[in-house]
Amino acid sequence: MSFTLYDAIVPTLRQLLGALPGVIAKAEELVASSDCTDANLLEARLADDMWPLPWHIRACWMHSAYALDQLADGAFTPDFTAIPESWDEMRSLIADAEERLAAATPQEIDAIANREVNFVLGGETRFTLPGERFLLGFNMPNFQFHATTFYDILRMKGVPLSKRDYMGNPAGPMFEG
């Protein structure tokens, strides 16, 4: 059995993306049933020098759907615009990422493996990696960091979440009947 770059990336991204709407729903339930407000959650961050809650959904989108579109041209330039301002905007980014990943093919992802990818920030190339290392060593850890941080901020603010909420369906949406 061969294991492809697609197999290493896409199912896990889709699994974790698939869990995020449920995490958001639990946050909204807390707001509806307590004195916690949307603003208390949306403005929350783990530390003063970290991004607030909605940024982490933007980053999950950026390191999944946006990255796949960027990497086709051999460069990744982070997009720090359009930070979601509501639960619905976060859900929209998640849906967009899920749609893009569902459309990705093994051939498309595997074609990135040997292509050089430049990380460009502020118009300047900061580093270059083979596509496989970029996806596995940069994009995937960034995606997981931001998904985890989103979960952690909400957990810290009292949203009743478990590890299962973070993980979603281990079989992932690709294997649901």
Task: Count other Cβ atoms within 10 Å, centred on residue 72.
Answer: 13
The pair of three-digit structure tokens given for residue 152, joined into one six-digit string: 């952690």
What are 124-134's pLDDT values in tens digits?
999 999 999 99
Domains of the chain: 5-166 (1.20.120.450)
What are 93-136's pLDDT values in tens digits?
999 999 999 999 999 999 988 899 999 999 999 999 999 999 99
What are 11-67's pLDDT values in tens digits?
999 999 999 999 999 999 999 999 999 999 999 999 999 999 999 999 999 999 999
